Structure 1
């Protein structure tokens, strides 16, 4: 009878049959790194730059114990992980958690639900993600495959930026003076600048390949303040996009507008009525939300005519989207995950200047639609 019962449980819950709990420990410490003939101390995880991989399968529970050995406050964000009812593990400093202070620990606890592919983890406080970052690799469930031929080899490639000085000093000086921060000294690939930079002929990422074989490159842009583009000379690259998500059922909702409207494509106004403060929008559970991100100078969004051009057949699902210079972007989402969610520009200089806000999604009526209480080890301010 016990064997029959166990069989029935596994039959009824097949998604649990091949899911496991994966444990990681992130020791955040300082160590010296030399790039561009310049040696400096950087903050990294487990002495690695870039940091270690998080590897899991769809459906797995992931526990990451972060131990802070440096003087800086630390938080880690799991960029792209949906964090269903686990908002306490999302990571933005002073949004979903107080930072992990020196000598303290915090265990991030989340389950990977309905996701597979390549994501990114990084520090989410000040500019510490300049060196605190690494890949998240999510494989399909056991006995499931990708919708393409299995590659001969899979290789994560992370783009980044390198400063010869402390990036924290760069942004602090910018905020004090009001001037734009100094740009980085080099772009990197897996932490290495490459042969085009001074003293870097040996600091070059190399991938040895075999003719006729197919390689899957897991590309991640971890640069702080730049869009970076990738190509391979004399080779064809096929891009396997993020999973799609149908959105035909979403309703139009325009809950919020700028308090002071002006012509974005006309001459810049003398006063855009910018004010300091904490900006958050409260959403009822399961609200359907449409957001327009409008840049300046060219191409105002037309609320009467442009929605007819929206792709509601096979829209791509994204965690980050580029707003074209002088244009606009429209996106929609269903507020079905209670908690506080940070929305911001992923150019850290813009976030530092205040291009950020938060969504507060209220609990739903059912027990599985409510945010659980905070964990006992959640850091305190």
Structure 2
């Protein structure tokens, strides 16, 4: 993979973007369950870069996971790094992307993991399959956007367009000729591997006049269910079947933002592609648009996400942890920090921040994995709290201002090997309540419960789904709501967890887990590979 500057024209203007091998979106990687792939990453660009293999569990191999200053220092311009990607048990769709600043806006691509040889999909084999990558485009340079946002302390500029497979679609200026077209034959069934690579927005997605059947999410099979629309978080993948069973014509495929928080600026445009039937017919002059939910329809968002269930059959069993040894309660908050002379662009001249349990994460100067492995003192603290420091009505409309200021620090949470972990994520209404798509590296987790409002520790666990909860690596915690997940800490190493809305991640809504080594070689971190990028 060669990361390089490449000129791309969108929305009537041309700019240089970082790409892999000159392609945007980048090349698709193909593998089978159980495969190991070795990728040489060359940085021929002008900025530091890292690559993350999103959803690959990387057993005992955090060295190749990719988040900068967590498991490696960035690959500097002119440098290279050989990464090993281990596809242990996942099957379905994952993706890869840059994990440094906001460069994943253009440095991204799909990963398709087929069943092992001799195995088949747990649904009828589709006639054909297509990756569909939803993205976000800014007319300005992404590095500049990141720097301006961090320096100003305010919200980032909203995007200029959303994208389907790198194209905005014909509702935007100068975009009609390059609109992505999906060519289909009447009566055939197709598999869409849907990925949300947008930096800052959850998205609603739909195909006009066609229902989709959900069969997987985050490289784990689900019980099939039919829907008119999809809600998909940044970082998430969803596998969809649809049958070309309508009158041969042209139909819009469309996506637009879902924003649950009140008063949060967002891009209110709609990206489109064309579903085009093959054959001889006269198409209508303008394709019909699908009925997407309203931009702030939280009920539609949680209804879709709450419908996901693991397939849980004899070939795809579930193993939900029952006896929890490590219960964690993590509040997710937007915060503010004081700014000299009230000169920042956040509320009342403050600097916007975000936190987990009131700790806003600060990147260290050496990556945490190397500091941990080589026993470097002083690089991080180890007392990340299991519970928030203040208990209050987390989702109340008016909360006292003193709660808005977090502590800042590089603090990790240590987990014993094979600990059974439950995290209850609780969204708060500090500054501005919002949805938080939380992503955990190195693991998938079972989503055993969710709800709107405050978590009730007495009543809500009684309603957990411990029979067929979905197995995911990214889950949207609903605005002013909660989500409970469970996993077994059986992967030793250093693993990042963060909100996948990149502004929230950069503001500090992050936790780093260190899973200690177990007994025996098979339960210990692998030795570091040669050529780790220098700090």
Give the TM-score normalised by the residue count of structure 1.
0.91
Q: 2:414 aligns with which of 278, 282, 290?
A: 282
- In 2, Cα distance between equivalents of 1:171 and 1:61: 34
- In 1, Cα distance between equivalents of 2:469 and 2:105: 32
Q: 2:393 aligns with which of 242, 263, 279?
A: 263
Can you give the 5+ residue segments of structure 2 that lack an aligned partner in the other structure?
222-309, 311-317, 329-385, 430-451
Q: 1:165 aligns with which of 140, 148, 158?
A: 140
Task: List, as ranges, runs of 4+ consecutive aligned residues in structure 1 with deviation greater than 4 Å.
Answer: none
Q: CA RMSD in A?
A: 1.2
1:39 positional shift = 0.2
In structure 1, the residue matched to 2:320 is 247
- In 2, Cα distance between equivalents of 1:61 and 1:186: 36
Where 1:321 maps in the other structure, the secondary structure is strand
- In 2, Cα distance between equivalents of 1:248 and 1:362: 19
CA contact 2:134–2:164 (8 Å) conserved in 1: yes
1:252 positional shift = 5.2
1:379 positional shift = 1.0
Can you give the 5+ residue segments of structure 1 that lack an aligned partner in the other structure?
1-25
Where 1:108 maps in the other structure, the secondary structure is strand
Q: 1:132 aligns with which of 85, 90, 107?
A: 107
- In 2, Cα distance between equivalents of 1:151 and 1:249: 36
- In 1, Cα distance between equivalents of 2:402 and 2:175: 47
Q: 1:321 aligns with which of 475, 478, 501?
A: 475
In structure 2, the residue matched to 1:196 is 171
Post-superposition Cα deviations, 1:264-287, rounded to whole Å, max 9, x if no partner, equal 122222122401111310011001
- In 2, Cα distance between equivalents of 1:82 and 1:250: 23
In structure 2, the residue matched to 1:88 is 63
1:173 positional shift = 1.1
CA contact 1:130–1:160 (8 Å) conserved in 2: yes
Where 2:173 maps in the other structure, the secondary structure is coil
- In 1, Cα distance between equivalents of 2:137 and 2:484: 33
* Structure number with higher strand proportion: 2
- In 2, Cα distance between equivalents of 1:149 and 1:271: 57
1:110 positional shift = 2.5
CA contact 2:321–2:488 (8 Å) conserved in 1: no
CA contact 1:246–1:313 (8 Å) conserved in 2: no
Aligned runs of 1:290-329 on 2, under 5 Å? 290-297=422-429, 299-329=453-483
Where 2:407 maps in the other structure, the secondary structure is coil
In structure 2, the residue matched to 1:182 is 157
Post-superposition Cα deviations, 1:49-87, rounded to whole Å, max 9, x if no partner, equal 000011011111100100001121110000010111111
